[in-house]
Chain A
Amino acid sequence: GENVEQHPSTLSVQEGDSAVIKCTYSDSASNYFPWYKQELGKRPQLIIDIRSNVGEKKDQRIAVTLNKTAKHFSLHITETQPEDSAVYFCAANPGGTSYGKLTFGQGTILTVHP
């Protein structure tokens, strides 16, 4: 089955710096790669996603890049703010399933210091 590895497990940055979180996946059939943000005690929420037919997608201060050959994808957050502090999860859809089954990475705790 699909294996999704996420690094680092914790990341600490100063406000205004950039943060990068990386994920690798094992199933070459995967074609959908979302990122979720989970604030303390809250539910995970989708922040950005990318499909295998594109290499990069941006939404204001966040961007995701995908390298299908190397089977890795990354989340980039620029100009970080304290409210970006949360746990971030990457995910991939094993077998390229169309009905949305996802395998998640272990999560990255991001702390942005004012």
Chain B
Amino acid sequence: NAGVTQTPKFQVLKTGQSMTLQCAQDMNHNSMYWYRQDPGMGLRLIYYSASEGTTDKGEVPNGYNVSRLNKREFSLRLESAAPSQTSVYFCASSVTGDGGYTFGSGTRLTVV
């Protein structure tokens, strides 16, 4: 039972490049989330998926897109990376009706 698995763990991009962050959970959770973590700013919600087939914007969605591929997988795409997107990205999942999150191990992204 792996919980929430994120790939890659580290990535360096050049400005304007694109990439997709992958997230998969094996806990049969309905809801999945993408957060970014920046020093002094806590965790900010980028996008979330309350259930399979639905996605919604969070607090900081600009520059990102998401896909809920199936119940297990929720990917985050940066179409044209910018230095402001340098951050640590966390995927999380939860059971509907119970807000307790299980987080992935994070992706440290640097855009130069």
A89 touches B99 (CB 8 A): no
In the complex, how many residue pairs between chain A and chain B have their CB atoms under 8 Å apart? 70
Contact of A43 among B45, B50, B103 (CB under 8 A): B103
- Contact stretch, chosen from A11-19, A60-68, A73-81, A98-106: A98-106
A101 touches B33 (CB 8 A): yes
- Contact stretch, chosen from B17-25, B66-74, B77-85, B89-97: B89-97
Q: A43-B106, A44-B90 are in contact. Are A101 and B45 (CB under 8 A)?
A: yes
Inter-chain CA distance A101–B47, complex, in Å, is 10
B41 touches A102 (CB 8 A): no
What is the size, in residues, of chain B's interface with A at 8 Å between Cβ atoms? 29
B42 touches A107 (CB 8 A): yes
Which residues of A lie under 8 Å from residue B40 when comparing CB positions?
Answer: 9, 106-107
Q: Is A28's beta carbon under 8 Å from chain B? A: no
Q: Is the interface of B mostly helix, strand, loop or mixed?
A: loop
A99 touches B31 (CB 8 A): yes
What is the size, in residues, of chain A's interface with B at 8 Å between Cβ atoms? 24
Contact of A102 among B30, B45, B97 (CB under 8 A): B45
* A46 to chain B: closest residue by CB: B100
* A105 to chain B: closest residue by CB: B42
**Contacts of B1-57 to chain A: CB distance below 8 A:** 30-31, 33, 35, 40-45, 48, 50-51
Inter-chain CA distance A1–B59, complex, in Å, is 9
Which residues of B lie under 8 Å from residue A105 when comparing CB positions?
Answer: 42
| Chain A positions 1 through 25: 1 when the CB is less than 8 Å from some CB of chain B, otherwise 0 | 1000010010000000000000000
Which residues of B lie under 8 Å from residue A49 when comparing CB positions?
Answer: 99-100
Which residues of A lie under 8 Å from residue B105 when comparing CB positions?
Answer: 42-43
Inter-chain CA distance A107–B95, complex, in Å, is 24
Q: How far is the CB of A3 from chain B (nearest CB, A)?
A: 11
Q: A34-B99, A106-B41 are in contact. Are A43 and B104 (CB under 8 A)?
A: yes
Q: List 29 A-B contacts (CB under 8 A).
A: A6-B42, A9-B40, A34-B101, A36-B101, A42-B105, A43-B90, A43-B104, A45-B103, A46-B101, A49-B99, A89-B42, A89-B43, A99-B30, A99-B31, A99-B48, A100-B31, A100-B33, A100-B94, A100-B101, A101-B31, A101-B48, A101-B50, A101-B58, A101-B99, A102-B99, A104-B42, A106-B40, A106-B41, A106-B42
